[in-house]
Copies of this chain bind each other. A is one copy, B any other.
Amino acid sequence: MRIGVLTSGGDCPGLNAVIRGAVLKGTAVHGQEFLGIRDGWRGLVEGDVHPLTRHDVRGLSKQGGTVLGTSRTNPFDGPHGGPENIRATMDRLGMDAVIAIGGEGTLAAAKRLTDAGLNIVGVPKTIDNDLDATDYSFGFDTAVEIATEAIDRLRTTGDSHRRCMVVEVMGRHVGWIALHSGMAAGAHAILMPEQPQSIDQIVKWVESANNRGRAPIVVVSEGFTLDTMETAHSEKGLDAFNRPRLGGIADVLAPIIEERTGIETRATVLGHIQRGGVPSAYDRVLATRLGMAAIDSAVAEQWGTMIALRGTELVHVPFQEALGGLKTVPQDRYDEAAILFG
């Protein structure tokens, strides 16, 4: 069996460990051959591949990013896209199956291609941890760790100057990174897309921390929005939330907090440092196991399924189940964290 491997969408710590896990298991246990597909679906559509041997994946478990490259190409677009063309390309390359490592968009495309008869198994990738079918996805732990270390650092500056520090972490649609890094680092307010808040509430949290002699730490997901009712009556300053802007939402929030509380306030947007570099041990183990389990799926010809983590076990779930819905932070987890705000 000759298997192609592709990584698609935003990069994520652990992608290389998935690739390595798949190649090591496939070659050692099943005598499979592997082709590295360059830049996600683009490489599959264009037949841009190269052999991927045991030797090529040496030392990859600790390497951030993806050695295969990635892109956001849609495999249904262009003159060579779509299931018929891709099938022809795979036949030409002698590629029996594809392991597609990617997020919801990638898995949705993989589902359509599988429905059209192509042999694809999936490995879920979302640094935001927003895929409902799996307890955790690789990359998330590393992102939380990096964010937590950064907040630890910012705290000493806040304490020394008695400043409020606003830290923006990743999370366009869900607040998992904010929740975990905020809990880990002892934030006094955690703001996330699932829980719109008013400026009044934010100010209340900041002042409460300040009144207890603490330098307030506010952790905010990039996708946080103000409570809509308030936005309707918003003052001029709040318009900044909805305008295109340089910088992040923390850059908008910080001056508003400073103006409302009189407490000197500084913004930090962590940005891409959360998704690059050496993966945590947790992510390396999870990603390696996912890559190995994808081989089991391919050998069992479970096309149209992806691997998910449930507790400490890996299970195979149909793409459609995985695509069900966004895994948001549930109310009880938010309430639990909010107890710590003080």
Contact = CB atoms under 8 A, between A and B. Distances in A.
Interface of A: 7, 10-11, 15, 21, 24-25, 28-29, 54, 58-59, 61-66, 69-71, 135-136, 141, 144-150, 152-157, 159-162, 165, 180-181, 183-186, 214, 240, 245-248, 251-252, 266-273, 275-278, 280-282, 284-285, 288-289, 292, 310-312, 336, 339-340, 342
Contacts of A63: 156
B269 A165 contact: no
Contacts of A214: 58
Given A273-B268, A311-B310, A65 B159 contact: yes
A339 to B, nearest CB: 5
A165 to B, nearest CB: 7
Given A69-B162, A144-B281, A276 B29 contact: no
Contacts of A148: 281, 284
A127 to B, nearest CB: 11
A273 B270 CA distance: 9
Contacts of A289: 183, 336
For the complex, would chain A's binding face be called helix, strand, loop or mixed by DSSP majority?
A: helix
28 contacts: A24-B339, A28-B339, A28-B342, A59-B155, A61-B186, A62-B185, A62-B186, A69-B162, A144-B281, A149-B277, A150-B273, A152-B277, A153-B276, A153-B278, A156-B276, A165-B272, A181-B281, A183-B285, A184-B281, A185-B284, A245-B247, A246-B247, A268-B269, A268-B271, A268-B272, A269-B269, A282-B282, A289-B336
A273 B153 contact: yes
Contact of A281 (B145, B240, B267, B285): B145
A292 B339 contact: yes
Nearest to A275: B157
Given A162-B69, A282-B282, A146 B153 contact: yes
Contact of A272 (B147, B266, B272): B266
Contacts of A340: 21, 24-25, 288
Contacts of A54: 342
A280 B292 CA distance: 26
Given A24-B339, A148-B284, A240-B246, 9 more contacts: A11-B156, A65-B160, A165-B272, A183-B285, A246-B251, A266-B271, A269-B269, A270-B273, A292-B339
